Protein backbone atom coordinates (compact mmCIF):
# COMPACT_ATOMS: atom_id res chain seq x y z
CA UNK A 1 0.00 0.00 0.00
CA UNK A 2 1.46 3.39 -0.96
CA UNK A 3 2.53 5.84 1.71
CA UNK A 4 3.18 9.54 1.69
CA UNK A 5 2.78 12.88 3.45
CA UNK A 6 0.02 15.41 3.11
CA UNK A 7 1.42 18.17 0.88
CA UNK A 8 -1.54 20.48 1.54
CA UNK A 9 -5.17 20.08 2.50
CA UNK A 10 -7.92 22.70 2.48
CA UNK A 11 -10.26 21.84 5.35
CA UNK A 12 -13.01 24.17 4.11
CA UNK A 13 -13.05 22.70 0.60
CA UNK A 14 -12.34 19.13 1.72
CA UNK A 15 -9.53 18.30 -0.66
CA UNK A 16 -5.80 18.54 -1.17
CA UNK A 17 -2.76 16.59 -2.29
CA UNK A 18 -0.55 13.87 -0.89
CA UNK A 19 3.11 13.66 -1.87
CA UNK A 20 3.61 9.94 -2.37
CA UNK A 21 6.88 8.31 -1.31
CA UNK A 22 7.56 7.72 -5.03
CA UNK A 23 7.44 11.50 -5.62
CA UNK A 24 4.06 11.73 -7.33
CA UNK A 25 1.27 14.11 -6.33
CA UNK A 26 -1.98 12.32 -5.52
CA UNK A 27 -5.32 14.14 -5.23
CA UNK A 28 -7.27 13.44 -2.02
CA UNK A 29 -10.90 14.25 -1.21
CA UNK A 30 -12.59 13.83 2.17
CA UNK A 31 -14.98 11.24 0.72
CA UNK A 32 -11.97 8.95 0.21
CA UNK A 33 -11.01 8.66 3.89
CA UNK A 34 -11.04 5.05 5.09
CA UNK A 35 -12.78 5.82 8.39
CA UNK A 36 -15.67 8.07 9.30
CA UNK A 37 -13.69 9.09 12.40
CA UNK A 38 -11.07 10.73 10.14
CA UNK A 39 -12.57 14.13 9.40
CA UNK A 40 -9.62 16.11 8.05
CA UNK A 41 -5.91 16.02 7.27
CA UNK A 42 -3.10 18.37 8.25
CA UNK A 43 -0.07 19.35 6.22
CA UNK A 44 2.85 16.98 6.84
CA UNK A 45 0.78 14.10 8.28
CA UNK A 46 1.93 10.65 7.18
CA UNK A 47 -0.77 8.60 5.48
CA UNK A 48 -1.35 5.30 3.73
CA UNK A 49 -3.69 5.03 0.77
CA UNK A 50 -4.59 3.24 -2.44
CA UNK A 51 -4.63 4.96 -5.82
CA UNK A 52 -7.10 5.02 -8.66
CA UNK A 53 -7.07 6.98 -11.91
CA UNK A 54 -8.75 10.35 -11.51
CA UNK A 55 -9.88 13.03 -13.95
CA UNK A 56 -6.47 14.74 -14.02
CA UNK A 57 -4.12 12.15 -12.52
CA UNK A 58 -3.96 9.82 -9.56
CA UNK A 59 -6.61 9.98 -6.84
CA UNK A 60 -6.18 8.56 -3.35
CA UNK A 61 -8.79 6.26 -1.83
CA UNK A 62 -9.01 4.46 1.52
CA UNK A 63 -6.81 7.18 3.04
CA UNK A 64 -5.73 6.50 6.63
CA UNK A 65 -3.26 8.06 9.02
CA UNK A 66 -0.10 6.01 9.20
CA UNK A 67 0.14 4.17 12.49
CA UNK A 68 3.11 5.19 14.58
CA UNK A 69 5.70 2.48 15.04
CA UNK A 70 5.24 0.71 18.36
CA UNK A 71 7.99 1.34 20.88
CA UNK A 72 10.11 -1.75 21.44
CA UNK A 73 10.72 -2.84 25.01
Give the pLDDT confidence of 29-49 residue by residue, as tens digits.
Answer: 999 999 888 889 999 999 999
Alpha-carbon radius of gyration of the chain? 12
- The SS3 of residue 31 is helix
pLDDT greater than 70 at residue 69? no
Give pLDDT tens digits for 9-28. Answer: 999 999 999 999 999 999 99
- Counting the structural domains of the chain, the total is 1
Residue 37: what pLDDT? 81
70 in any annotated domain: no
72 in any annotated domain: no
**Domain extent for 11:** 3-65
Q: Give ∠ CA 26-27-30 in degrees, rounded to 5.
A: 130
Amino acid sequence: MPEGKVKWYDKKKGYGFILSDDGSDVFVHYTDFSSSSLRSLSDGEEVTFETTPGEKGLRAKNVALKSPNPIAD
